[in-house]
Amino acid sequence: MIETVATAARAYYGGADSALDDDVYDALVRGIEEYEREHPDHVLAESPVGKVAAGAIAPGDVPHSVPMLSIANVFDPEGLLAWGASLERRLGRPVDGFTVEPKMDGLAVAAHYREGRLEQLVTRGDGIAGEDVSHAIGTVRGLPERLAEPVSIEVRGEILLTGEQFERANEIRVENGATVFSNPRSGAAGTLRAKDRPYTIPTTFYGYVGMPVADDDGSFAAFLREAPHSEVMAAVANLGVNTTGGTPAGLRVCPTLVEVQEAVDAIAAMRPDLPFGIDGVVIKADSAADQADAGNGTRAPRWAIAYKLAAVHKITRLVGVDWAVGRTGVIAPRAILDPIEIDGSTVGFATLHNPADIERRGLMIGDQVSVYKAGDIIPRVEAPLVHVRTGDETPIEFPAVCPQCGGGIDTSEQRWRCVQGRACGLHAGILYAVGRDQLDIEGIGGRLVTQLVDTGAVADVADLFTLTREQLLTLERMGDKSADKLLAGIEQARTRPLSRVLCALGIRGTGRSMSRRIARHFATMDAIRAADVVEMAQVEGIGDGKGPVIVAELVDLAEVLDKLVAAGVNTTEPGVTPGASTAPDAADDPAAGQGPLPLAGQAVVVTGAMTGVLEALSRNEMNELIERAGGRAASSVSAKTTLVVAGDKAGSKRAKAETLNIKIITPEEFATLVAPVLDDGA
């Protein structure tokens, strides 16, 4: 067990890929600790317990003026309370407040500034001495070469790859013939230590300690020694250095451990939306006096603790890849995995996006792979652990023909597509079109769609509106009442808003929210069909990339669109006028005797389960309601968000809104706010 942990620690702290994920590693270390407590005479010299970086890293060439220690862990509220009680016993008094900040999943470094200039960058190493990595100066965002003031300071923190930087790093690696990084942490560590590469990979720094240089006894050095941690980090941020306080999670000051636990829960809830990975939350005594009196152990300070969170990167085996054809004929690969629990759910499948993504990541059947999942995001395979390959792995076979119809494949774009397009994905396309958030035709399920398609009664979405009672009665398990009910549902579907009809078409590059934007921008189907690429690109979120695709799709669908019009399907978006995505009509014009729409100019995010009169509304229907009320529906909370509607079990989005001081209301309050629009037909 000790050798397993030591091997994993050498990989983890050395920038290589570990064959153990964080949860397994932590469990093994806890097991060793427990065994050594019960059998103190069996402790081995190579044990990782009580050592900085688990004793896996050799001493570097640059001594630290003050040891750069690791941090001890707790894993639950009980552990946090036990640590707090132990700290108070050691101090002999209550702790004078705590700070709570995210625990970055990167590589610990110390940045040495002399009179405002960054002179040296050193890794933690064994905690006593580290490795000089000053060659990376100038490539690390958030670590300026010059401070805003000519002061001397040592800033300790983490160098990491943000999610965006990680993706770009792997693109750069592939372009230069190198293997991809399996996860952001190993990527950051490998990047920081690399020299003489023909390419540069940017990284990001976040500081969490500010301390004086050894020979400085000036006023600023005195401030760094005596001020609370929260004030020191605010001063570091004012110098122009990234700190944990400048992240969306922030640095929070909490008087009690009850408030600390609330802050931990809030940061944990924000985890899926953070632009970087975290593996826990760090709690520190804020007072410099408390820190000094508590002191340090051989491995970790006694005045700080890391509240570890469950790992979102897990290691499992890729056992196969299957290929499915979507409603527009796109052929999508899916990874089949040895089931693994990630973030509270069992994962047996993960997205692979497209064949180019498979090749870029260098995946093979039988690989041990790093799989990532955060919150409700679809799990994805990051990369293989190349160094643990056994030689039994086999290449992934790409389909030579369409796996659905056996026809040809268009491989001219990254996303492969059956040459028959929608004709191949017709079954999936019809099922999508009749869904609740599109045409909402109750009573049409997979079996009925199969019959309609196989008998030739339905060859496209428009054919649904020409179905007759006689046609339906020829189908299996279709009686008089079922047929009449279905025809009534189809009749009601003719009146759906243009945005729903547009969404039902399954146009590439669009979805529910984009269909609403297009419909509200152009107001009529005729205007949409008449739009050229430039006009289409003016719709929010489309731009020059999606514009040509959408216009081309509309041309391909011309016959279907003509059939929809002939069948009497609605082709207008109620309550809007052409040319603006949220343009009010005369009834919304204050000059016409009406007040402005209740959500005019607001960006609204809905999270959690709705209650009260909104309970029956789907998320898409809530977004439609927001836009009818003059607002803009958004899927994520940002500084541009003005209002959050938080229902039952609202999680990370509510927590982020609280951090950004965004107004939060209940579903009942929201229903009252939009009552005029709701009463008019929500």
Domain residue ranges of the chain, discontinuous segments joined by +: 2-58, 69-308, 313-410, 425-493, 498-566, 595-679
d(CA 499, CA 285): 54
Q: Please give the CATH topology (third level) of the domain spanning 498-566.
A: DNA polymerase; domain 1 (1.10.150)
| Residue 674: pLDDT over 60 | yes
CATH number of 595-679: 3.40.50.10190
| Strand (E) or helix (H) holding 536 | helix 533-537
pLDDT digits (tens, 9 = 90+) for 517-574: 899 889 999 999 999 999 999 988 888 888 898 999 999 899 999 999 999 999 998 8
| Strand (E) or helix (H) holding 168 | helix 163-175
Q: Is the Cβ–Cβ distance between 16 and 58 less than 8 Å? A: no
Q: Residue 320's pLDDT is what?
A: 95
Token pair of 84, please? Answer: 């707090």
| Residue 8: pLDDT over 70 | no
Q: Is the Cβ–Cβ distance between 604 and 633 less than 8 Å? A: yes
Tokens 């407040």 locate to: 97
SS3 content of the chain, % helix, strand, coil (to 5): 40, 20, 40
Residue 492, Ramachandran bin (φ over 0: left; ψ between -120 and 50: alpha; else beta): alpha
Which of the residues are catalytic? 103
Global pTM value: 0.64
**Mean of the pLDDT values across residues 657-675?**
90
Angle between helices 2-14 and 184-193 (to 10 degrees): 60
- Which one-letter DSSP state was computed for residue 243? B
Tokens 């004709």 locate to: 423
Token pair of 266, please? Answer: 């809030």
- Which one-letter DSSP state was computed for residue 301? B
Q: Can you say whether the dihedral through the CA atoms of 555, 556, 559, 565 is positive or negative? A: negative
Q: Is the Cβ–Cβ distance between 271 and 375 less than 8 Å? A: yes
Cα dist from 159 to 8, 136, 207, 650, whole Å: 20, 11, 9, 32
Within 13 Å of residue 17, how many CA atoms lie on the same side as its CB? 21
Q: Is the Cβ–Cβ distance between 557 and 507 less than 8 Å? A: yes
d(CA 107, CA 109): 6
Q: Residue 55's pLDDT is what?
A: 53
pLDDT digits (tens, 9 = 90+) for 593-630: 345 788 988 999 999 889 999 998 888 889 888 988 88
* Amino acid letter for position 169: A
Q: Residue 302's pLDDT is what?
A: 96
| Residue 12: pLDDT over 60 | no
Lowest-pLDDT choice from 26-40, 109-123, 176-190, 493-507: 26-40
Q: DSSP 3-state assignment of 298?
A: coil
Burial of 3 (0-12, 13-18, 19+ CB in 10 A): exposed
Q: Residue 5's pLDDT is what?
A: 46
Q: Residue 186's pLDDT is what?
A: 82
Q: What is the β-pairing status of strands 304-308 and 278-285?
A: antiparallel
**Mean of the pLDDT values across residues 100-127?**
94
| Residue 502: pLDDT over 50 | yes
Within 13 Å of residue 161, how many CA atoms lie on the same side as its CB? 24
d(CA 154, CA 124): 13
Q: Is the Cβ–Cβ distance between 662 and 643 less than 8 Å? A: yes
Task: Give the number of other CB atoms < 10 A from CB of residue 327.
Answer: 20
Q: Taking all residues of the chain, what is their mean pLDDT, rounded to a whole number?
A: 86
Give the residue among 130, 158, 111 at the shortest CA–CA distance from 63: 130
pLDDT digits (tens, 9 = 90+) for 14-40: 555 555 555 555 556 656 666 566 666
- Where are the extended beta strands (E) located within 128-241? 129-130, 140-141, 153-160, 203-211
Q: How confident is the model at residue 436 (pLDDT cuts 50, 70, 90)?
A: confident
Q: Residue 346's pLDDT is what?
A: 84
The listed range with the strongest mean pLDDT (26-30, 367-371, 412-416, 663-667) is 663-667
Output phi, psi for 655, to 5 deg. -60, -40
| 425-493 CATH pick, 3.40.50.300, 1.10.150.20, 3.40.50.2000, 1.10.3720.10 | 1.10.150.20
Q: DSSP 3-state assignment of 456?
A: coil
Q: Give the residues across from 314 on adjacent strands.
A: 371
Strands ordered across the beta sheet of 98-104: 73-74, 304-308, 278-285, 98-104, 252-254
Lowest-pLDDT choice from 27-41, 354-368, 393-407, 638-652: 27-41
Cα dist from 521 to 96, 394, 433, 453, 553, whole Å: 56, 50, 22, 34, 18
- Where are the extended beta strands (E) located within 216-330? 252-254, 278-285, 304-308, 313-325
pLDDT digits (tens, 9 = 90+) for 269-311: 888 778 898 989 999 999 999 999 999 988 899 999 999 987 7
d(CA 102, CA 274): 10
**Mean of the pLDDT values across residues 414-418?**
89
Output phi, psi for 29, to 5 deg. -65, -40
User: What is the CATH superfamily name and number for domain 69-308?
Assistant: DNA ligase/mRNA capping enzyme (3.30.470.30)
Fold match between domain 498-566 and domain 595-679: no
| Residue 206: pLDDT over 90 | yes
What contacts 630, CB < 8 A, 6 or more positions away? 582, 584, 588, 596, 597, 598, 599, 600, 601, 602
Q: Give the residues across from 524 on adjacent strands.
A: 572
**Mean of the pLDDT values across residues 312-322?**
89
Residue 493, Ramachandran bin (φ over 0: left; ψ between -120 and 50: alpha; else beta): alpha
Judge: domain 313-410, CATH 3.90.660.10: no
Q: DSSP 3-state assignment of 55?
A: helix
* CA-angle at 396, arms to 395 and 397, nearest 5°: 110
**Mean of the pLDDT values across residues 98-121?**
95
